Structure formats: C-alpha cells, structure tokens
C-alpha cells in the first residue's frame, strides 16, 4: 500500500484492546512499520480502563468517550475496526463524527434490532432452534461457562493459544448498561464505506447471522475468512492483509 493509513481497533465483550496485539504486530511486519498508526481503544471497564467504576456509564457515554480517544490521539481519516460486541458501538461513533472515519471494518460483529437488547438478541436457544435468536453452541443451562468458552472462542486455537487467551479472558467487563440498551440505529451507516469480515468457523455467531448483521450495517463489501470468532488471535496475518486491502478499497 503506497499510503500510510491510521487504524483504531475496538474489542468485543469480556476483552480489551490487548486482543488486537497480534494483528497490529502483523500489520507492522507486513509494511515494515509503515502502515500508519494503530490505536487500541478500550471500553470503560476494560483493558487500560479496567479499574473504572462503570455503574453509570451508558452506551452513548461509551461511544462519546471512544470518539474523544480517537480525537485526542490526533488520528484522522481512520479505518475503524470492531470485533463482536463492538458492532453495537461503531454505528454510534460514526453518527457522532462521520468525518473522522474513512472506512468501517466489522469483524464478526453483532447488531441488535432497534428496541432489542444484546441479551435478547442472543437468547437462550441453541444455534438454529429459534430464527429470531442467535442462540448458543451448547445449552447454557447444562454447560459451564468454561465449556462454552472453549466452543465459542477457542474452537480453532492450538492448546498454547487457548491457554494464553483464556488466561486473559474474564478480567474485563463492559458497563452493565450496555446489555440493557435498546436504542440502536443503523440507517445512517451508508454514508461511510463499510466492510464485514465473516468468520466461517465462528463458534458464537453462525455465518447466516453474520451475513444478516452485515446487511444491517449497510456493508458494501463482505470478506470471508476461514477462522473462528477470535480471528485476530488465530489468523492475525490474514486479518492484517484483509484490513490493508479494505483500507485501500
């Protein structure tokens, strides 16, 4: 790529900006460090903001703070990359400052319908049982969280990757208000070009749901990646190549 591009990365639920380390390292190696700048964003309660009291932090507060973080870093014409639950926040960031972003890249992101909570979107059914719920890979009533984590996050990880990832998981928590929020809007998103990375082996979001979410985000481009939900951990170089390509699109 002839032009340096700045990226801002937003993590999903139960994770922090640390989840992007391998992908950012891959971007640097592929470009000899010349890709531009990379900003790891942290939702209040996660990553570098883990110690924050987030009892009164709303979804709109999260979006406003993250936009301020991008502005404070001096980034402009940014490729904004989000993963999983970050898909709830990216649209609100764009609504606040559409001029700040050149492209959105949703990596296996989810988007509740207007009037729906994140919890209701997931539901309690198994994958494929209820057409109105994303569902779970196994019954959450009869399987422990650890068992679910292995299927949801680690189904394409090596034992070493699994141990490293699970050792970091569980220390970060999005504000509780983000799970009760229902005021979602996507109609404005066509103004900023967007791409969606469908993870074909995703253990949380079935491919059909990812494609549904991509349409909800008004994505003009879809890229299919042979990876599980944590593509930034298991396929960082491939994901970095996708991000470079989408930034230039």
Assign a CATH topology to domain 7-119+173-248. Rossmann fold (3.40.50)
Over the range 193-221, which residues count as b (16 or more CB within 10 Å of their CB) and which as e? Answer: bbbbbbbeebbbbeeebbbebbebbbbee
The owner of tokens 């504000």 is 175
- Delimit the domains of the chain by residue range: 7-119+173-248
Which one, of 94, 95, 60, 62, lies nearest residue 79 by Cα? 94
Block residue for tokens 């209040």:
44
- What is the band of 34 on the pLDDT scale with cuts at 50, 70, 90? confident
Over range 4-32, report the average pLDDT: 96
Quote the mean pLDDT of the chain. 96
User: Residue 3 has what pLDDT?
Assistant: 74
**Model confidence at 1, in pLDDT bands (50, 70, 90)?**
very low
State the pLDDT confidence band at 249, using cuts at 50, 70 and 90: confident
The tens digit of pLDDT for each residue in 50-71 reads 999 999 999 999 999 999 999 9
Q: How far is CA 102 from the centre of its chain?
A: 17
| 160-214 tens-digit pLDDT | 999 999 999 989 999 999 999 999 999 999 889 999 999 999 999 999 999 999 9
Mean pLDDT for the stretch of residues 60-87: 97
């Amino acid at each position: 790529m002839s032009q340096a591009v700045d990226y801002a990365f937003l993590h999903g639920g139960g994770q922090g900006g640390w989840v992007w380390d391998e992908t950012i390292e891959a971007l640097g190696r592929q470009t000899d460090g010349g890709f531009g700048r990379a900003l790891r964003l942290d939702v209040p309660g996660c990553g570098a903001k883990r110690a924050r009291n987030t009892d009164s932090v709303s979804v709109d507060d999260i979006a406003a703070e993250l936009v301020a973080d991008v502005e404070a870093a001096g980034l402009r014409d940014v490729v904004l990359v989000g993963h999983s639950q970050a898909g709830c926040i990216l649209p609100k960031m764009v609504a606040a400052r559409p001029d700040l972003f050149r492209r959105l890249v949703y990596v296996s992101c989810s988007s509740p319908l207007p009037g729906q909570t994140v919890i209701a979107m997931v539901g309690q059914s198994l994958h494929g049982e209820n057409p109105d719920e994303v569902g779970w890979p196994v019954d959450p009533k009869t399987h422990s969280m650890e068992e679910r984590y292995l299927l949801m996050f680690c189904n394409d990880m090596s034992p070493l990757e699994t141990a490293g990832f699970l050792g970091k998981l569980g220390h970060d928590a999005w504000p509780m208000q983000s799970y009760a929020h229902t005021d979602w809007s996507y109609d404005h998103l066509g103004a900023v070009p967007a791409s969606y990375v469908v993870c074909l082996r995703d253990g949380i979001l079935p491919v059909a749901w990812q494609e549904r979410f991509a349409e909800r985000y008004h994505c003009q481009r879809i890229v299919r990646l042979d990876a599980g939900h944590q593509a930034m951990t298991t396929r960082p170089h491939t994901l970095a190549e996708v991000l470079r390509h989408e930034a230039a699109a």
